[in-house]
Amino acid sequence: MSRQTQYSKRSFGVLFSVISACFLISSAWAIDAPDYEFDWVTVGDPGNPAYDGPWDIGGGYFRPVGRVDRVFRVTRTEVTVSQWFEFVQAYAPFYTGNPLYYTLTGVWIHPDEPNPDGTWTFRMSQGAENFPTSGGLRFIARYCNWLHNGKVNEAWAFEDGAYDASVIDAIVAGDESIEGFARRPDAKFWITSFDEWVKAMFWDPNKYGPNQGGYWKYPHSKDVPPIPGVETNAGQWIGYPEQFDFYDVGGYPDSHSPWGLLDGSGGEDEWMDYEWSQWFHSNRSMIARGSIAFWNRLELTDWIGDMPRSLPLNTDKGFRLASVVPCAADFAVPFGQLDLADVVAFIQAFIDGDPAADLAAPAGVFDLADVAAFAGAFDQGCGE
């Protein structure tokens, strides 16, 4: 950013706050959330209204859904077999359980002969590389931890970061006393939440005209169901093995959500991030949404008001990743939302000489140019 950049009144206000603030916090965060070659879609319009029915039952759902108060990003498609296979290979040296456990391998990854140390090597089915994968929470959480920790191939990198995997193991093992479990607030990668999924699939800030938002009934920006074989690979059965020609993610690029997400219909039905509610009757349940390739009544399963399915954690389903939006001004949780906490955290990082606060040339020098760069980034926002 040029040091002669002109700033708005808001950015000068931020600049003044940064210079004049006299209170600090004990730590600052520097967002480093690589793309990892995923195709990310940024979802903005923070503070959108929630969807609160109608639902496909006579009563109501356990809460309104779809409102998100921060900017986030989500993968355009479900995570693929090849993307998941990279994780399975990385985790294999630390895994000594049943190699046929589908919540680890999904349908398209298979064990080879065991290694002398009791671990396993795995292989993908030929031609399945770009199919949507499936998995269970125990391992998807470890996948997110691994991404959060920079893909470090050490045991600790799989066990915490985005999720405390030990708590998930305890829930799966039957500890019903655990309530309120959730991902870490500073997670960089996580399973798309129900609110995030509904917003990214159905909410259109301009459905009725500029800045006149609304929810579409179906996840391809229409109020009528998608057409099997034309807009989705769901709702039809064309016979084995021909159907798998249509199973790659992103097979219908003209059929997308208002934000550009693909395969809201078809592929795999998708896990929503773990959340605790008494509505589920058990802490060992998660909810899934969406239709499955070659199956389902789309007018019901793909409809925004379809009741989510509550399923045991040890089931394998497809999923998408959500992530923070890399943003130079976003220093403090909740990531994706700029506020005074980000200003205070930047001040701390600036005083500490944290490289996260080194936002302007020359590199390694902390001066007014870095402060001005922060103010400009704050004024611009994070993908809103």
Read off the CATH number of the domain in which 175 is found. 3.90.1580
Q: Which two tokens stand for residue 117?
A: 């140390």
Residue 168 domain flag:
yes
Query: Is 211 found in the same domain as 86?
Result: yes
The DSSP secondary structure of 143-161, one letter per residue, reads: HHHHHHTTS--STHHHHSS
Instruction: Give percent above pLDDT 90 in the chain.
Output: 42
Q: Which two tokens stand for residue 353?
A: 């000489």
Residue 335 domain flag:
no
Q: Which domain holds residue 370?
A: 9-30+340-380
Query: Is 37 found in the same domain as 20?
Result: no
Query: Is 269 found in the same domain as 233?
Result: yes
Three-state SS at 115: coil
Residue 220 domain flag:
yes
Rounded to a whole number of angstroms, the distance between the first and last alpha carbons of the chain is 20
d(CA 323, CA 341): 20
Tens of pLDDT, residue by residue over 217-235, are 999 999 999 988 888 888 7
Answer yes or no: is pLDDT of 350 > 60: yes
DSSP state of 106: -
Query: Is 351 found in the same domain as 254?
Result: no
Residue 3 domain flag:
no
Tens of pLDDT, residue by residue over 267-302, are 888 999 998 877 777 888 888 888 888 776 777 788
CA distances from 127 to 82, 89, 109, 110 (A): 10, 18, 11, 14
Residue 370 domain flag:
yes
Other C-beta atoms within 10 Å of 354: how many? 18
Number of H helices, E strands in the chain: 10, 11
Query: Is 218 found in the same domain as 99?
Result: yes
According to DSSP, the β-strands at 72-75 and 40-43 are: antiparallel
Query: Is 206 found in the same domain as 179?
Result: yes
pTM of the model: 0.82
Three-state SS at 349: helix
Dihedral sign, Cα of residue 187, residue 191, residue 195, residue 197? positive
Query: Is 192 found in the same domain as 96?
Result: yes
Residue 245 domain flag:
yes
Q: Which two tokens stand for residue 283?
A: 């802490």
Three-state SS at 142: helix
Residue 262 domain flag:
yes
Question: What pLDDT is attached to residue 120?
Answer: 84
Question: What pLDDT is attached to residue 61?
Answer: 59
Residues paired with residue 287 on neighbouring β-strands, in sequence order? 310
Question: What pLDDT is attached to residue 15?
Answer: 47
Query: Is 356 found in the same domain as 263?
Result: no
Query: Is 151 found in the same domain as 25?
Result: no
Closest CA to 330 of 345, 316, 319, 314: 345
Q: Which two tokens stand for residue 253?
A: 């690029």
Q: Which two tokens stand for residue 266?
A: 């078809």
CB 327 within 8 A of CB 382: yes
Q: Which two tokens stand for residue 180?
A: 């309120």
Query: Is 206 found in the same domain as 192?
Result: yes
- Determine which helix (DSSP H) or strand (DSSP E) holds 163, and give its type and residue range: none
Other C-beta atoms within 10 Å of 93: how many? 15
- For the chain, how many structural domains are there in total? 2
Residue 334 domain flag:
no
DSSP state of 225: P
Question: What pLDDT is attached to residue 382?
Answer: 67
| Chain centroid, CA 137 distance in Å | 13
Query: Is 376 found in the same domain as 243?
Result: no
Query: Is 366 found in the same domain as 255?
Result: no
Q: Please state the φ and ψ torsions of residue 340, each to the nearest 5 degrees.
A: -60, -30
d(CA 132, CA 124): 13
